[in-house]
């Protein structure tokens, strides 16, 4: 217990070092020798602390190159959500539905702000009052709506071909909330999406009508474009309600598959390019 507490304190000091020196993701960390001197601890203690921090995504150990500040992605959170959901499912819990409801609650709750953001950022068709030097309006509501329209059109084409790709569905949800300008929120929503679809693939074969998937996303977009908050919230609820109905046939006792854990389904942050010292 004593050594575990000491290891935690060393981890805290390394995290404090990253913050105080304002090291960005991908930046090289001090060498093991430098950390030993600065923290006044043994090499083994430094290595154990770095390994623990790597598991959290705080640092990235590149053997032969050194240690770098990690991507600090939501991959550990996704892994934890996925494992908890699968374990709960095989204990007889309705954990996949619970994870779906978590996504639904967050996304529905964001609709009012999302509709307001798209409306406030929508550039007028004729802006006679624009001043010279204002520059282009990057990321306007109109730009984002155009991106969403392109994704819905892609869904339509994929539905006609027989299946809406998971990547297109993910891109739609990511683009939908990107306009809120909250990077942490986007990462959390991505983690929820990753965890749900990873577990759904392992535990449930949902029979999805691709035309329904396309139409429901088209309705979400139409509701946002119309500026009608209630309609947008209902569109999101309908979308998740449709998935929920398909989950009813995946009760734990009817599951015959063995659980598998494939990290390839988790979206990891881009690898950090080693930097020579």
- Which strand (E) or helix (H) includes residue 68? strand 66-69
The predicted structure's pLDDT at residue 268 = 34
Judged against a pLDDT cut of 60, whether residue 100 lies above it is answered with yes
Residue 14 has a pLDDT of 96
Q: Examine the domain organization and report whether 173 and 254 are in the same domain.
A: yes
Q: Which of 30, 53, 69 is the last residue of a domain?
A: 69
Q: Which of 32, 48, 69 is the last residue of a domain?
A: 69
Per-residue confidence (pLDDT) for residue 36, from 0 to 100: 96
Q: Would you say residue 273 lies in a domain?
A: no
Look at residue 109 and tell me whether its pLDDT is greater than 90: yes
Residue 39 has pLDDT above 80, yes or no: yes
Beta strand residue intervals within the chain, DSSP E: 59-62, 66-69
CB 91 within 8 A of CB 253: no
Do 109 and 235 fall into the same domain? yes
Q: What pLDDT, in 10s, does the model give residues 250-264? A: 554 444 455 444 443
DSSP letters of 195-226?
HHHHHHHHH------HHHHHHHHHHHHHHHHH
Compute the half-sphere exposure of residue 122: CA atoms within 13 Å on the CB side of its CA.
14
Nearest CA among 50, 44, 43 for reference residue 13: 50
Say whether both 33 and 81 belong to one domain: no
57 occurs within a structural domain? yes
Tokens of 89: 């499912």
Alpha-carbon torsion angle 276, 52, 201, 150, nearest 10: -50
Nearest CA to 152 out of 121, 129, 175 is that of 175
Same domain as 120, residue 53: no
97 with 26, same domain?
no
pLDDT tens digit sequence for 43-95: 999 999 999 999 888 999 999 899 999 988 888 888 888 888 888 888 888 88
Q: Which of 96, 135, 101 is nearest to 257 (CA)?
A: 96
Q: State the average pLDDT for the chain.
A: 81
Give the per-residue pLDDT at 142.
77
Q: Tell me: pLDDT of 132 over 60.
A: no
Structural domain including 34 reads 2-69
- Of residues 254 and 187, the one with the higher pLDDT is 187
pLDDT at 214 over 60: yes
Q: To which H or E segment does residue 59 belong?
A: strand 59-62
Same domain, 184 and 59: no
What band does 200 get if pLDDT is binned at 50, 70 and 90? confident
Q: Tell me whether residue 274 is in a domain.
A: no
Query: Which residues fall within 8 angstroms of residue 24, CB to CB, at 6 or more apart?
Result: 69
Using alpha carbons, select from 212, 273, 220, 247 the residue that is nearest to residue 65: 273
Mean pLDDT of 133-148: 63
State the total domains in the chain.
2
Task: Assess whether 109 and 125 both reside in one domain.
Answer: yes
Within 13 Å, how many C-alpha atoms sit on residue 109's CB side?
Answer: 8
| Percentage of residues in the chain having pLDDT higher than 90 | 49
CATH of the domain at 261: 1.20.120.530
Q: 153-170 pLDDT, tens per residue?
A: 999 999 999 999 989 999
pLDDT for 113 beyond 80:
yes
Residue 203 confidence (pLDDT) above 60? yes
CATH code, 28: 1.10.10.10
Distance from C-alpha of 176 to C-alpha of 77, rounded to nearest angstrom: 22
The pLDDT assigned to 228 comes to: 94
Whole-angstrom Cα distance, residue 156 to residue 212?
10
Query: Do 157 and 205 fall into the same domain?
Result: yes
Structure token digits, residue 27 = 């930046």
- Domain end among 47, 69, 91: 69
């Amino acid at each position: 217990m004593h050594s575990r507490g000491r290891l935690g304190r060393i981890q805290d000091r390394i995290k404090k070092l990253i913050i105080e020196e304002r090291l960005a993701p991908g930046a090289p960390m001090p060498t093991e020798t430098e950390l030993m001197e600065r923290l006044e601890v043994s090499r083994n203690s430094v290595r154990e602390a770095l390994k623990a921090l790597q598991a959290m995504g705080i640092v990235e150990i590149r053997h032969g190159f050194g240690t770098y500040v990690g991507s600090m992605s939501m991959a550990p959170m996704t892994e934890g959500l996925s494992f908890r959901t699968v374990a709960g499912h095989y204990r007889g819990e309705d954990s996949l539905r619970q994870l779906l409801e978590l996504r639904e609650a967050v996304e529905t709750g964001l609709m009012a702000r999302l509709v307001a953001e798209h409306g406030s950022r929508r550039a007028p068709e004729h802006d006679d009052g624009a001043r010279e030097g204002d520059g282009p309006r990057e990321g306007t509501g109109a730009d984002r709506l155009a991106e969403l329209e392109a994704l819905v059109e892609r869904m339509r084409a994929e539905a006609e071909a027989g299946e809406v790709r998971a990547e297109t569905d993910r891109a739609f949800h990511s683009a939908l909330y990107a306009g809120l300008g909250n990077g942490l929120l986007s990462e959390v929503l991505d983690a929820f999406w990753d965890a749900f679809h990873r577990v759904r693939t392992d535990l449930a074969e949902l029979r999805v009508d691709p035309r329904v998937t396309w139409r429901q996303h088209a309705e979400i977009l139409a509701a946002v474009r119309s500026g009608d908050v209630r309609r947008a919230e209902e569109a999101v609820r309908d979308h998740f309600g449709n998935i929920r109905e398909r989950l009813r046939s995946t009760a734990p006792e009817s599951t015959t598959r063995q659980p598998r854990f494939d990290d390839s389904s988790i979206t990891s942050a881009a690898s950090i390019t080693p930097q020579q010292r």
